[in-house]
Amino acid sequence: DTAVSQTPKYLVTQMGNDKSIKCEQNLGHDTMYWYKQDSKKFLKIMFSYNNKELIINETVPNRFSPKSPDKAHLNLHINSLELGDSAVYFCASSPDSTYEAFFGQGTRLTVV
Amino acid sequence: GDSVTQMEGPVTLSEEAFLTINCTYTATGYPSLFWYVQYPGEGLQLLLKATKADDKGSNKGFEATYRKETTSFHLEKGSVQVSDSAVYFCALRSPGGGNKLTFGTGTQLKVEL
């Protein structure tokens, strides 16, 4: 009965590859997010969707493309992976954009 | 824009010591304030929150009071345990900031026997 679940938990891949991370929430929330946590634990928002519509798009390379097929899912596709993309990526959701966010367990991406 | 400043870590304490982790913020309008905790290898969990000035959030022995006059939301606990060892993040959400959740840099707490 995991509230916000991400797959995979670990992802090791070579530079130049394309990969996806999936996120699903079963909380009935309208808003979903992707955050990136770097090696110093700093968290930065990448994207936010509300009812499948993009509402926040921070300064993120266009190699990163979020896709929300329905309001319970927000996937992250990354093209042409670079070493600097190595980080932990967290998916989160909230009832709307004014409440606290509920986080998934994270996906540790390592680009070699 | 919105920003959150936390004290640098790591903070190392003995079990049963008093904990304070300082957090100050800059925001447009009247933000909601949060403390999240991240245990090793896990995602972030909401620890407590306060949505208006003078509110006190509390959970698991942790407390923080929303101080508008000093733009602060310091986290305190009277007696820490080894199991409290984690990274603590202060965060805010404000309408003027597009309602995105803005985090501080995190403070690592290590509690030793």
- Given this model, what pLDDT does residue A1 score? 63
Torsion of CA B103, B105, A65, A51, to 10 degrees: -10
Task: Convert the pLDDT of each residue in A25-72 to its tens digit.
Answer: 999 999 999 999 999 889 999 999 888 888 888 878 999 999 999 989
> In chain B, what residues touch A48 (CB-CB under 8 Å)?
100
Task: Convert the pLDDT of each residue in B72-106 to its tens digit.
Answer: 999 999 999 999 999 999 999 987 666 688 999 99
Chain pair A-B, CB pairs under 8 angstroms:
53
Mutate to test the interface with A, among B37, B51, B101, B103 (most CBs of A within 10 A): B101
CA distance A107 to A19: 12
Facing residue for A90 by CB, picked from B43, B87, B95:
B43
Q: Do B100 and A45 touch (CB under 8 A)?
A: yes
Q: Is A27 on the interface with B (CB under 8 A)?
A: no
User: What average pLDDT does this structure show over B29-37?
Assistant: 92
Cα-flanking dihedrals φ and ψ of residue B97, to 5°?
A: -100, 20
Token pair listed for A33: 């997010």
> In chain A, what residues touch B103 (CB-CB under 8 Å)?
42-44
B109 within 8 A of B7, measured Cβ to Cβ: no
Bigger pLDDT: A20 or A51? A20
- Given this model, what pLDDT does residue B96 score? 66
B104 within 8 A of B4, measured Cβ to Cβ: yes
- Given this model, what pLDDT does residue B47 score? 97
- Given this model, what pLDDT does residue B95 score? 74
